[in-house]
Amino acid sequence: MNKFKLQTLSGMHDILPDDQKYYQRVQKAIDSVVKYYGFEKIETPILEMAEVFYKGTGVTTDVVGKEMYSFKTKGGDIVALRPEFTPSIARSYIENGMHNLPQPVKLYAVGPCFRYERPQAGRYRQFEQLDLEVLGDSNPSIDGQIIQMSYDILKDLGFKNASIQVNSIGDSECRPYFKKILTSYLKSKKSSLCSDCQRRLKENPLRVLDCKEEKCQVVKAGAPQIVDHLCEACHAHFKQVLEFLDELELPYELNPYLVRGLDYYTKTVFEIIDKDENGISLGSLFGGGRYDGLVKILGGRDTPACGVACGIDRIVSIIRSKDVKTAKVEEPEIFMAQLGQMAKRKSLKLFEEFRKAKIPMAESFSKDSLRAQLRSANKMGAKWVLIFGQKEALENFVTVRDMKTGTQQEIALDKVVEEMKKKLAKK
Ligand code: HAM
C-alpha cells in the first residue's frame, strides 16, 4: 500500500492535454468578442498586497473573510493570492496613471484566481477567470455593452438557456436609507432567519436577500425591494440600462434579490445563469456590475467603472458535456519513418528542414520498427510517409510512399522539401 500519495490539492485540478481543446474553444469565443469591442489585454500579478482585496472586495465579504488565501511573507508583508481581478485592475489603473489615457479604458484579463471554497461541481479553489473592465465611463450604455459581450460569448459557445438576471443596488446616496428599512424589517423576523443570515444582519443585511437557505425564503419574499427606494440618479441609470437591454433584445429578468457578494458594487448588478430544459438554475456563469466608488476607495480619483467576470472551468465543464464543436486538431499529412542509427541521425536534420519550411510533419523517432511507424502513420491518416532507411541515408535520397495507392517514389534528399511542397499544393 502506498501510504504517501502525492496528488492535487482539494479543489485544484490539472488541465490535461485532452482538456486543452475546450479551453482553446472558449478562448476563441473570448478573443473574437474582446477584439471586436476594442478591449486590451492586461496581466496583473497573481500575488498582491492583501490590502488591495481587504479594501477593494471588502473584509466582511465571504470572498475575503472566509475564502482568501493570504499569508505573511519572509519580509513580513501580508499578501494574498488574488480571489478575483477587479481590485487588482483598479490598483493597476491608479498605479499606472491610466486616468491620463483617453477614457474609457477597456481592459480584459484571463488567468487563475483562488478561493478557499467548499469544492463541488464547477466550483474550484483554483479556477480560471475571464475578466472584462471598463474604467472611466458612467454611461449606462457601458453596462448594456458588458452584458451584451457576456451573452455573445455564451451564444458563440452554444448556450441556449442562458438567462440574464439584473438588479440595481443603488449607491451611497440611497443605499444607506434602504439598508435601514431592510434591517428593521429583518430584525422583526430575526428568529426565522438561518444562523448565517443572523450574522449577516449585523455586517451586511443586503446579503440576506441572496441567501439560498430554505428557511430564509419566506422572510425574503416579504422584504422591501431596493428598486423601490433608488434615488433619482440611480433610478434613471437603471431605467436606461434596461432600455439598452430591450433595444439589444437580450432576454433578461429583473431579480430583486440579486445583490452580489462583493462590497464595491453600485447601481447595476447582474449575473448570467445557465438553466436546464426545465428552467432550473445550473449556477452562475458570469457575474458583474458597476463599481463607481472602487478606484477612489483604493486611493485614485473618482472613476466610474463597470465590469464582469466569468468562470472558464465552469463553462468548459458544460460545453464538454454538451459536446460543443471544438476546432479539429489538424494532423500533419506527412509522416517521417526512419530505420537504423545513421538514418535516425540524419532524419532529425531533415525534420528540422521541414519545420523551417513551415510544413507540418509527424514522426516517431523513438520507434525502431518500420511496421510500428507505418501503423502510427495510418492511424493519424497521413497521406505520405517519408521512409528514410540505411540505403537512403547512405545514398542521400528518401523513399516517399503514397499511403492511399501504396506506390513509392525516390526523391533526392536536397529536393524532398520542395517536392513535398508541390505535392501538398496539388491535392
Ligand atoms: P464573482 O461573481 O465572484 O465576480 O465571480 C465571477 C464568476 O467567476 C462566477 O460567475 C463564476 O462563474 C466564477 N467563479 C467564482 N468562483 C468560482 C469558483 N470557486 N470556481 C469556479 N468558478 C468560479 C467577480 O469575481 C467580480 N470580480 C466580477 C466583476 C468584474 N465585477 C465587476 N467587474
Average pLDDT, the chain: 93
Tell whether residue 363 is among the known ligand binding residues. Answer: no
pLDDT digits (tens, 9 = 90+) for 314-341: 999 999 887 666 666 677 899 999 888 8
Kindly tell me if the per-residue pLDDT of 2 is higher than 70.
Answer: no
Mean pLDDT along residues 141-158:
96
Rounded to an integer, the average pLDDT of 160-180 is 95
Ligand 1 site-directed mutation target among 9, 63, 84, 142, most atoms within 8 Å of CB: 84
Res 280: pLDDT = 76
What average pLDDT does range 134-148 have in this prediction?
97
Cβ of 143 less than 6 Å from ligand 1: no
CATH number of 17-174+230-322: 3.30.930.10
- Segment 394-398 mean pLDDT: 94
- Whether residue 104 has a cis bond before it, omega within 30° of 0: yes
Ligand 1 atom 7: the closest Cα is on which residue? 310
Residue 240 has pLDDT above 60, yes or no: yes
Query: C-alpha cell of 133?
Result: 473592465
Q: Which residues contact 310 (CB under 8 A, 6 or more apart)?
A: 129, 130, 150, 153, 272, 285, 286, 287
Find out whether 265 is annotated in a ligand binding site. Answer: yes
- The lowest-confidence range among 90-94, 309-313, 355-359 is 355-359
Q: What is the pLDDT of residues 48-92, one digit of tens each?
A: 999 999 999 999 899 999 999 999 999 999 999 999 999 999 999
pLDDT of residue 327: 62
124 appears as a binding residue in the annotation: no
In short, whether 309's Cβ falls inside 6 Å of ligand 1 is yes
- What mean pLDDT comes out for the span 107-126? 95
d(C-alpha 324, C-alpha 23), whole Å:
12
C-alpha cell at 248: 439589444
Can you give the residue ranges of every domain in the chain? 17-174+230-322, 334-426
The second-level CATH assignment, the architecture, of 334-426 is 3-Layer(aba) Sandwich (3.40)
* Distance of alpha carbon 318 from the chain centroid: 13
Is residue 1's pLDDT more than 80? no
The pLDDT assigned to 5 comes to: 86
pLDDT at residue 182 greater than cutoff 70: yes
Whether ligand 1 lies within 6 angstroms of the CB of 117 is answered as: yes
CB atoms under 10 Å from CB of 29, counted, come to 21
Which of 30, 52, 118, 129 most suits a substitution to test ligand 1, by most atoms within 8 Å of the C-beta? 129
**115 CB less than 6 Å from ligand 1?**
yes
Is 53 annotated in a binding site? The answer is no
